[in-house]
A and B are shown apart, each in its own frame.
Chain A
Amino acid sequence: MSASAVRRFVFAFGAAFALFYAVARARGLAIFTVYPAQGIVLLGTHRSREFVDPVLDFLAPEMYWYGWTAAAAVGALVVGVVATVLTERLSWVWAWCIWTVPPLAMLACVYLTMPWFRL
């Protein structure tokens, strides 16, 4: 793979990863859900209250972070591969996205976290 193709891949991957992570975080799109107390992993996004009474859902805390990260990685991998086959003339787009999208995604995550600070 040429240096130009590697550059397009890594820049597109980084930007797409940040974007998809923020989207996955906002929409609750986890590829899998981890239940550490039970030691089980379920495909897709699941909530404890779907299985137990909401009062008892603390017995089966769910974790989405791993699923969000995996979802972002898969989506970014696809975008990265597409970027390598696109024309070199578009490389300025990826170079621009890699330093603008991740900080914006971080700001989006700050916005999504605001409910914790209103309690």
Chain B
Amino acid sequence: MTTAILIVHGLVAVALLGAITHQSLATCAPSNAKPSSFFGRFCAIPAERFANAIIVLYLTSALLGAVVYLYFKIDIQPDLERDRHWHAMGFLDLKEDFVAIGLGVLPAYWFCWRGPADSQHNHIRTILTILLAFIVWWSFLVGHVLNDIRGFGS
């Protein structure tokens, strides 16, 4: 059962990673990009359409991660400590901290993306999107490394 939850957690994380990366690149792309260029194609899809999906995926991923974390604490962490994977433990601590802060930011993120861009919220929208993108990328990479820790670097 834990393995199934972990796999679903990973699949949701992949979908979230794609959506938030697309949105953050579209947000940061230069507005004068040529339509046929890479950034031009990114901008062609309205970035605000990703917002609700990102919120649902983030919440789902965090919930599944919170469930898997219980099993990690019992079954995996003692082995990591025994094998002295202190850096991995530190990175995981940061992952849980960043994810929690991201949860708190989600309502403001939703508010900034719920309507068309205006000058008042434009920079807040950009910063929060980049912040969430960083959290999602960090969480994905740390989760991936920890998932493969016994073969990682060997």
**A positions within 8 Å CB-CB of B:** 6-7, 9-11, 13-14, 16-18, 21, 25, 34, 36-37, 58, 61, 63, 65-66, 68-69, 72-73, 76, 95, 98-99, 102-103, 105-106, 109-110, 112-117, 119
**A36 surroundings in chain B (CB, below 8 A):** 70-71, 73-74
B120, chain A: closest CB distance, angstroms? 8
- CB pair A18–B105 under 8 Å, yes or no, is yes
**A106 surroundings in chain B (CB, below 8 A):** 97-98, 101
- Of chain B, the residue at the smallest CB distance from A14 is B108
Q: Name which of A6, A65, A68, A103 has the most chain B CB atoms within 10 A of its CB.
A: A65
Interface of B is mostly: helix
**B positions within 8 Å CB-CB of A:** 66, 69-71, 73-74, 77-78, 81, 84, 86-87, 89-90, 93-94, 96-98, 100-101, 103-108, 110-111, 120-121, 123-124, 127-128, 131
Interface of A is mostly: helix
- CB pair B86–A113 under 8 Å, yes or no, is no
Contacts known (A63-B69, A103-B131); A10 close to B101, Cβ less than 8 A: no
B70, chain A: closest CB distance, angstroms? 4
- CB pair B86–A98 under 8 Å, yes or no, is no
Name 19 extra pairs, CB < 8 A, besides A11-B108, A116-B90.
Answer: A10-B107, A11-B124, A17-B104, A21-B104, A25-B97, A61-B77, A63-B73, A68-B100, A72-B100, A73-B104, A95-B124, A98-B124, A99-B127, A102-B101, A102-B131, A106-B97, A106-B101, A113-B90, A114-B90
